Amino acid sequence: MASANLEDVSNEALMNEMMRRMRCATKPEKRVILIGPPGCGKGTQSPVIKEQHCLCHLATGDMLRAAVAAQTPLGVMAKQAMDKGELVTDDLVVGIIDEALHRPACSKGFILDGFPRTVGQAQKLDEMLAKRGEKLDKVLNFKIADSILEERITGRWIHPASGRSYHTKFAPPKRPGIDDITGEKLIQRKDDNATVLKSRLEAFHKQTSPVINYYERKGLVATLHAEKAPEVVTKEIEKALDLSKSSHQEKPKSLRNW
């Protein structure tokens, strides 16, 4: 809505946004990291957390692409690195996250997904937040057995045109391999096979275990039973994010900051 001409926004949309901001004004601030392997359910839970706690959802890949497209100073530097075939530095990624946190949508805090992936990145994130006078509240660890993930992921089928997804066991189409709505053929993504998944999971465990250990030493990790039904995991998350007894909980900001 920030980039839109308010004269062209309907009264209903404006009222809905005002009601949302009034509802969010009394919410305590929360800064949350999600850690979990592919297929663990982060994508299901993120919108729920975002809506319930009035947080912005920060996916580093999306933010990086947006910064490059918008040609922000950091985005230009990131594009220069990528054009040379170089990796975008941790400092650049943290800087882009810092830029994003100035948005009004992030006034009540954030959900950070896909970062940090290393202890070095976690330390740089802590340093950036400290400069802002902030710190993390919780790290949600979506723990699930690799064997369950294999069943979840290798059973996925997609309708390419619409993005509708099915699962051979949990949400099968009426006819095997056929989209319920259009009658068109379903496909499986190239990455949705046991061989690719095994490689991805090995890399995930090797990379993120030290990060989880880093945050555990700070007392920030809440381990979720991600193999359970989504509504059960949602309840676990709500319990983990009950920060009413937290010593560093922020006072609610006024509506002026929204």
Q: Where are the domains of the chain?
A: 28-238
pTM: 0.81
Task: Report the helix count and the strand count for the chain, using DSSP H and E.
Answer: 9, 7
pLDDT interval class at 66 (50, 70, 90): confident
Nearest to 30 by CA among 59, 60, 50: 50
User: Could you give the 3-state DSSP secondary structure of residue 88?
Assistant: coil
- Whether the per-residue pLDDT at 254 is higher than 70: the answer is no
- In Å, what is the CA distance from 15 to each residue of 24, 69, 117? 14, 31, 40
User: Could you give the 3-state DSSP secondary structure of residue 82?
Assistant: helix
pLDDT at 84: 86
- Whether the per-residue pLDDT at 257 is higher than 70: the answer is no
Q: What percent of the chain has pLDDT over 90?
A: 59
Lowest mean pLDDT among 42-56, 158-172, 201-215, 236-250: 236-250
Cite the active site residues: 42, 117, 156, 189, 200
Strand partners, 178: 175, 185
Half-sphere exposure of 178 (CA within 13 A, CB side): 7
Nearest to 239 by CA among 223, 215, 255: 223
- Whether the per-residue pLDDT at 4 is higher than 80: the answer is no
Give burial (CB, 10 Å; 0-12/13-18/19+) of 51: exposed
- In Å, what is the CA distance from 229 to each residue of 144, 146, 223, 224, 246? 12, 17, 15, 11, 28
**How big is the chain by its Cα radius of gyration, in Å?**
20
Report whether 126 contacts 217 (CB < 8 A).
no
Query: Out of 3.40.50.720, 3.40.50.300, 3.40.920.10, 3.30.1330.60, which CATH number does the structure's domain 28-238 have?
Result: 3.40.50.300
